[in-house]
Amino acid sequence: MGISYDRKAELIAFDETKTGVKGLVPRIFLVPSPENLNSDQELSLPTIDLKGIHEDPIRRKQAMEEVKDALGSWGFFQIVNHGIPVDVLEDMKKGVLGFFEQDSEVRKQWYTRDRSANRVVYNSNFDLYSAPVTNWRDSFVCRMYPNPPQPEELPPPCRDILLEYSSQVMKLGCSILELMSEALGLEPNHLWDMGCATQLQVTSHYYPPCPQPELTMGITEHTDAGFITILQQDQIGGLKVLYKDQWTHVHPIQGALVVNAGDLLQASLYLSISHASMYCFPNHQSRILITNDKFVSAQHKVVANKVGPRISVASFFLTDLMTQNPKVLEPIKELLSEDNPAKYRSTTGKEFLDYFYKKGLDATPALTYFKI
C-alpha cells in the first residue's frame, strides 16, 4: 500500500468496465493491513425460534424476551421457523446467482450509480468514490415496497422470485416489529403502524472467490442505516459481528435468517407527520418510536473468502425517502427524562440516508454525526 498511484483514475477505469469485481483492478481492493481471518472469538449469535408465536401466548412472550435481550446486547440474532419456505429461500439465492452469472454484456444494461434512476440499481460498491477501500463484492438493489416494480422492470433471472421473496419478507418483518414493540412495552402494531417499514429495499450481494482474502474485505466494518435488516446468507459464511469489542463469526444455519437493528432503530426517534401526510395516518398522532440506545446497531463486516461465490440478500426496512414532505425524526419526548436525555438531534430520513451514502462504509457509524 506504500506505492503511490492514481487511485481515482483506477477507480474510474474499474467503474467504466461495468463488469464488477470479475473485472477487478487489484490495487484498489487492498486494505491498509492484512485481515486476520483466524483471531475471532468463538461465540454463538442468539438463535430465536419463532414457532408458535402467533398461537401460543407463552411462546410469544418467551420469543419477545429473547428479542429484547439479543437486541440490547448483540444487536443481532438468527431466527428459525420464521415462516418463509425453504424453497423460496433457495430460489432467491439461485435467482441472485443467475443475475450475476449472466453474460457481462447483458448485466451491463442494469449498471448505474444513479439511485433514483431505475427500480433496479446494479453496481460494484455504492461508495466506490468515497470509501477509502474498495470492497470485494457486486450488488444490485431493488425498491420493493410500498410500490413493487412491474415484473418487466426486474431482471429475468430473479424476476418472479424477487416479488415472492419480498412479499414474504414484508410479512415476516411485521412479525418481528410486533415483537420489538412488545419488548419496548408498546402495543404489538405500534412500530409497524408508526412507519418503521414504509419502504423495503432488497439488496443482493455477490462475493466472487478471492485468491488472497486476507488482503481485502467483502464489506468494510459498518452499521446499517435503516430500522431493521433481515439477511439471508448462504452456507459459505463470512459475516462477523462486533460483540464486547471482539469480532465473532455468524455461522450460517441452514434455513435460518439473520436479523439486526439499524441506526434509526437505535436512535430513539419519533416521526412528526406533516399536515399533508396525515391522510396516511388518520389518528393524527403518528410517531415512530424507536429505542434511544436500548437496542444496539452493531458494527459488522464480511470477510473475503477463497471459495465462492458467496450470495447474500439483505432486506432493509426504511422510512419513505420518496415523499415530497419529508418526515422529521427526533427524540421522542415520552422516552426522555433527566436520566435519559435526548442523544441525537432531529433530522429527516432523507438527510440521514443521504449522509450515510455520501460518507460510505467505514468504521464510523453514521449516527455519530447526529449525536448532540
Give the tens place of pLDDT for each residue, 306-363: 998 999 999 999 876 555 556 666 665 656 677 777 777 777 777 877 888 788 887 7
Q: What is the pLDDT of residue 277?
A: 30
Candidate from 246-250, 303-307, 346-350 with smallest mean pLDDT? 346-350
Q: What is the pLDDT of residue 264?
A: 80
Q: What is the pLDDT of residue 276?
A: 25
Mean pLDDT of the 185-214 span: 88
Mean of all residue pLDDT scores within the chain? 84
* 67: three-class secondary structure by DSSP: helix
For 354, residues 6+ apart whose C-beta sits below 8 A from its C-beta are none
Residue 59 phi, psi dihedral angles, 5° rounding: -65, -40
Q: Which tops the pLDDT comparison, 72 or 255?
A: 255
Q: Measure the CA–CA gap between 167 and 84, rounded to whole angstroms.
A: 10
pLDDT (tens digit, 9 = 90+) per residue, 120-161?
999 999 999 998 889 999 999 999 999 899 999 999 999 999
Residue 344, all three cell numbers: 441525537
Residue type for position 96 = V
Indicate the pLDDT class of residue 1, thresholds 50, 70 and 90: very low
Q: Does the pLDDT of residue 218 top 90, yes or no?
A: yes
Residue 359, all three cell numbers: 460518507
Mean pLDDT of the 169-190 span: 91
The β-bridge relationship of strands 217-222 and 300-303 is antiparallel
Q: What is the pLDDT of residue 294?
A: 66
